Structure 1
Amino acid sequence: MKKIGMLAQIFIGFILAVILGAVLGPKMEVVQPLGDLFLRLIKFIVVPLVLASLITGITSLNNVKKLLSVGGKTIAYFMVTTLMAVSIGLLVGTVIAPGKGLDIAIPTENAEQKEMPSVVDTFLNIIPTNPFESLSTGNILQIIFIAIAIGMAITAVGEKAKPLADFFDSLAQVMYKITGFIMKLAPIGVFGIMAPIVGNYGLAIILPLLKVILAVAIACAIQLLVTYSIAVRTLGKMSPFQFIKGILPAGLVAFTTASSSATLPVSIKNTEENLGVSKEISSFVLPLGSTVNMDGGAIYQGIAVIFIAQFFNVDLSFSQIITVMVMAMLVSIGAAGVPGAGLIMLTMVLQSVNLPLEGIALVAAIDRILDMFRTSINVMGDASAAVVVQESENKKNLRKAA
């Protein structure tokens, strides 16, 4: 196995999981502890890695002006790609029409409403009242706030705070090393996670909604092969093939775990080693993107809204479609870090265009499958942002040197 690359090893584990899961069915639950072990190891390093790498990234930028520059470019890129994602989702949903002619009973027990936080509460909740509680519960949004506050303060204090900056830099290096050890178990972990999922999801639940799954898969492929490929080629000056090959291991881990935060250590490792992004950029862009960049979620919103509207024979007006596009962009930040974020985001969007909330039950049964696609695209979108921002900073540095 040492002669086989990590990407090939993960892919082999993935294919074996699909084959054995399909053949043996629920019996494959026996290998679930392997997946649980891998997930626990990944989650074990997420909090210290995000905290240390983000603080290190901010302090390595040296000044607040550069931080604002990198942060501004990152947020602007995320907004544009999210807008592209929801547009692609709406277009693909309209063309494939997954909800037309569908005749299935709505499982009303899964259509419960979740309480939505207000916009003000959403932004207030980013600021922790107890930093240690935020770290212990793994609230990534609040951890990012803590890291930004500490990083900016270290930069403002200057030389006297250098020992603290060195501490977080050393902690980040240790976390990167631990990540390397854990990644050696990735093929086994992917097998242990995927095999029980494939074994438990029978065709009975998938076939009626196969067009929805197909629509999400096609839209995600378009986002990767068109939006990201054009961005990394024109703005990042990188071959799309090199980009996809370099970030694919993280994409497969994201597809398996359905968690951007859990995939973060792998994303950082792939982005730096395979795509040539500096630590100062990757350690800032990727943790931020894992929380606020939801391109896959935006695709899902677009397709799910079209699907539910078609199922209930509702014709969406142009203004409603624009509302869906705007809401999909806004709620991607508001629902970040919330368990079941995809369904909560969908509830907000449905409410904004007065579609029946019972429609959530139609996609709830396959939400885990759809989550795998959208999380994979989220992670690849974060990496494309890192490549684009890195090239922009390189150009700016060259102009200064000239």
Structure 2
Amino acid sequence: MSTSAETAESSQVPQTPKSSRIPRIPFWVQILTGLVLGVLLGWIAKSGDIGWLTSTLQHIGDLFIRLLKLAVAPLVFFAILVSITNLRQVNNAARLATRTLLWFMVTSLIAVAIGLAIGLLTNPGEGTGLTPKGGKLPDHAGSWIDFLTGVVPSDVITPFTELNVLQIVFMAAVAGIAALQLGEKAEPVLKVSRAALELLQKALWWVIRLAPIGTVGLIGHAIATYGWHLIGKYATFTVDIYVGCALVLFGVYPLLLSTVAKVNPLRFFKGAWPAIQLAFVSRSSVGTMPVTQKVTERLGVPREYASFAVPFGSTTKMDGCASVYPAIAAIFIAQIFDVPLGIADYVLIAFVSVIGSAATAGLTGATVMLTLTLSTLGLPLEGVGLLMAIDPILDMMRTATNVAGQSVIPVLVSAREKILDRDAYNAAKSSPIDEPDASEAEQRVTVPAAA
């Protein structure tokens, strides 16, 4: 009797249907596939001298970067404005902002010291076969006068049309501070600003999902255009940049996380990896900003603080582009042009890297920062022309380092100020960038059920 009853009872239990949904390919796998495919197509185009394939790869890459840049100007403006006003929801906001800036400067100083040490040890400009005749003046050169006077725009339209991110940051900061002073009177403007920021971020998510396709074009065109023979001429310099950035990314940051923040560095990389890999491909800190902010929040940084620190870092925190790169590049160019550098010059390089990093503005490339460094040292600006050919290959690693630092510092400051959610940090995982974490999804389901 009991057996038959159990059988009948078990037959009434509904069977969970097997999911017929196609397994989703992880984003990092999509990016890696794009990298491999891009290298393969670039090699085919280069070895077979296939012009139409090279052109197609270039158009694909250019279109992806153009789509990223399309939202940069308004995204930076509204992100900075909203982030400054969000600070009023955080205790000790001025203290947090000051600590953030100080750690930006400290890590930049460490990064530039690593760059100088590598450059002095390896002498990247010797034995390359390159000569000063191969250099040419850059289209735009940076100087301290331009940097200081260029912060303030002459009108409110030009910075957006010419994509002068530094001036956009200045206007957004002024607007944000003014909104804080006005209080409730500014709430209608802030409401529109928050809605505009969400709209821009949503549109940018769609572009970010195209990153694997953009990777094929960007990497493929780089290989097809420059080829391995050109990379060979810059072998020491290229290795120096990658090693220097790797030491900062996988050496300095984990050391700070483990000793200062007292957290597991492996958890950081697991949580922040979607932003780091996208930065490597897109070569744009600002374009990666929505992903950077999302992974930073997943790592336990309070949203109100993250919404300030990440946009601020995306336009000023550049350990790869503004510290490691100009230090090694200055030594490289000095050796090519046979210009001796002394201790005072190395101190100047460190000063420029720490103070002038905002000149990079979070966009692809670091030409402005490099010209600012060279002009300060009195080195020939024609040296920039020698580096432009190899720049896209270098910029990938530089930007990945930038973005990692933009996420590390908020974690470090939050831990020091005891506002880091350590449970969230330890539970962080590299989940898809356009879907909520499993824990978030569970809360959305279980809370109503409990009610």
Tell me the matched-pair count: 395
Contact 2:411 2:420 in 1 (8 A): no
> Are 1:15 and 2:60 matched, yes or no?
no
> Are 1:350 and 2:374 matched, yes or no?
yes
Contact 2:302 2:419 in 1 (8 A): no
Q: 1:46 & 1:267 partners in 2: Cα distance? A: 15
1:343-382 alignment runs, 5 A limit = 343-382=367-406
The one-letter code sitting in structure 1 at the alignment partner of 2:112 is V
Length-normalised TM-score, structure 2? 0.78
Between structures 1 and 2, the one with greater helix share: 1
Unaligned residue ranges in structure 2 (runs of 5+): 1-21, 422-451
Residue 102 to residue 36, structure 1, CA distance change in 2 (3 Å): closer
1:124 is aligned, of 149, 173, 176, to 149
Length-normalised TM-score, structure 1? 0.86
Deviations 1:184-206 (A, max 9, x none): 22212222222222221112321
Shift of residue 85 of structure 1?
Answer: 1.0
Contact 1:58 1:280 in 2 (8 A): no
Give 1:103's aligned residue.
129
Residue 280 to residue 2, structure 1, CA distance change in 2 (3 Å): farther
1:3-402 alignment runs, 5 A limit = 3-25=24-46, 27-62=53-88, 66-108=92-134, 110-111=136-137, 115-119=141-145, 121-273=146-298, 275-297=299-321, 298-333=323-358, 335-337=359-361, 342-395=366-419
Unaligned residue ranges in structure 1 (runs of 5+): 398-402
Q: 1:262 & 1:7 partners in 2: Cα distance? A: 17
Deviations 1:213-246 (A, max 9, x none): 0010000000111111122333344422222233
Residue 238 to residue 95, structure 1, CA distance change in 2 (3 Å): same
Residue 67 to residue 125, structure 1, CA distance change in 2 (3 Å): farther
Shift of residue 88 of structure 1?
Answer: 0.4
Residue 351 to residue 43, structure 1, CA distance change in 2 (3 Å): closer
Residue 361 to residue 52, structure 1, CA distance change in 2 (3 Å): closer
Residue 233 to residue 175, structure 1, CA distance change in 2 (3 Å): farther
Bigger drift between 237-246 and 193-202 goes to: 237-246
Q: 1:28 & 1:2 partners in 2: Cα distance? A: 33
Percent identity, aligned pairs only, is: 35
Q: 2:117 & 2:301 partners in 1: Cα distance? A: 33
Shift of residue 207 of structure 1?
Answer: 0.8
Determine helix, strand or coil for the equivalent of 2:131: coil
Q: 1:99 & 1:109 partners in 2: Cα distance? A: 13
Residue 338 to residue 260, structure 1, CA distance change in 2 (3 Å): closer
Q: 1:45 & 1:177 partners in 2: Cα distance? A: 11
Contact 2:365 2:392 in 1 (8 A): no
Bigger drift between 106-115 and 139-148 goes to: 106-115
